[in-house]
Structure 1
Amino acid sequence: MPWTEITREQYRRDDLRYASDMTDAEWALIRRLLPRANRRGRPRKTELRRVVEAILYIVSTGCQWRALPQEFPPYSTVQGYFYRWRDTGRWQRIVSVLVRR
């Protein structure tokens, strides 16, 4: 949908901590593309939404992995998820869904 005065409200990011953070509507689009927690083994403690938002922060700011703000999960965790998702093609699907929307 093109950017117009009528649709401007849905593109506002004033209430988000960072401009790269996702809205609830954007999160709803990609949540189903992310892996579910494994029922066996150690329970997942990291919220995948925060991981995706950290990756989007790095992409939008160009910062180094180690310069990731403290509000996000540890950079090594984010980096591990990103590399795994990149190698399996999952990150490409996530980006495609967000861009198409």
Structure 2
Amino acid sequence: MRARTYSTDTSDAEWGLLEPLIPAPKPGGRPAHIARRDSMDEIFSVKRGGVSWRLLPVDFPHWKTVYDSFRQWKQSGLWEGMNDALRAQVREAEGRNAVPSAGIVDSRSVKTSQKGGSEVTTVARKSTDEHII
């Protein structure tokens, strides 16, 4: 466990929800020298805090070790599965069906001219006017 705590660290209640969703280290090979909770907290430090992997605080393990955990969990589908499980828990706690029956997709529209603005329109007009003369 690290000497310091950070605002991005998981609370005991959050860790209680996340811990069962994270697979135990595979047997054999080199034993894990970083606790799974510390790995999760270090990843959240990057993702929640907007910090670069290489700029992790000095009391964290080497950035490559933390990134390798993140990448391995991403490739295994852990993050997607964790999101699905937590969403189901929240929905059930609200008395709703665990699986949503519909989704909403929102987008932002920005008005622009069809041809790309007045400058493009002006250039197009000039070239056609020259051909007419």
Does 2:38 align with 1:50?
Answer: yes
Query: Percent of counterpart pairs with the same letter?
Result: 32
Counterpart of 1:8 in structure 2 is none
Separation (CA, whole Å) in 1 of partners of 2:63 and 2:22: 19
The two structures, once aligned, show a CA RMSD in angstroms of: 2.3
Highest RCO, 1 vs 2 (Cα 8 Å, sep ≥ 6): 1
What TM-score results when the alignment is normalised by the length of structure 2?
Answer: 0.56
**Cα separation, partners in 2 of 1:95 and 1:56, compared to 1, 3 Å:** farther
Structure 2: gaps of 5 or more residues:
91-133
Q: Contact conserved, 1:21 with 1:57, CA < 8 A, in 2?
A: yes
Please tell me whether the aligned partners of residues 20 and 53 of structure 1 are also in contact (alpha carbons under 8 angstroms). yes
**CA deviation string 1:50-73 (max 9, x = no partner):** 111011111122111110012222
Q: Determine whether 1:87 maps to 2:75.
A: yes
Give the Cα–Cα distance (whole angstroms) in 2 for the partners of residues 30 and 74 of structure 1.
Answer: 23
SS at match of 2:37: helix
Name which one, 1 or 2, has greater alpha-carbon Rg.
2
What displacement does 1:30 show?
Answer: 1.0
1:19 aligns with 2:14: no
Structure 1 unaligned regions, length at least 5: 1-15
Letter in 1 for 2:66: V
Alignment partners' CA distance in 2, 1:39 and 1:60: 31
Q: In structure 1, what is the Cα distance between the partners aligned to 2:5 and 2:25?
A: 26
Aligned-partner residue type, residue 9 of structure 2: D
Corresponding position of 2:126: none
Q: Matched residue pairs, number?
A: 86
**Alignment partners' CA distance in 1, 2:35 and 2:6:** 17
What is the CA deviation profile of residues 24-83 of structure 1, one whole-angstrom value per residue up to 9, with x for unaligned ones?
111111111112123322211111111110111111221111100122222111100111
Aligned to 2:60: 72
Q: CA deviation at 1:95?
A: 4.0
8 Å CA contact 1:51–1:72 kept in 2: the answer is no
Q: Give runs of ≥4 in structure 1 deviating > 3 Å.
A: none
Report the alpha carbon displacement of residue 87 of structure 1 after superposing the two structures with TM.
1.5
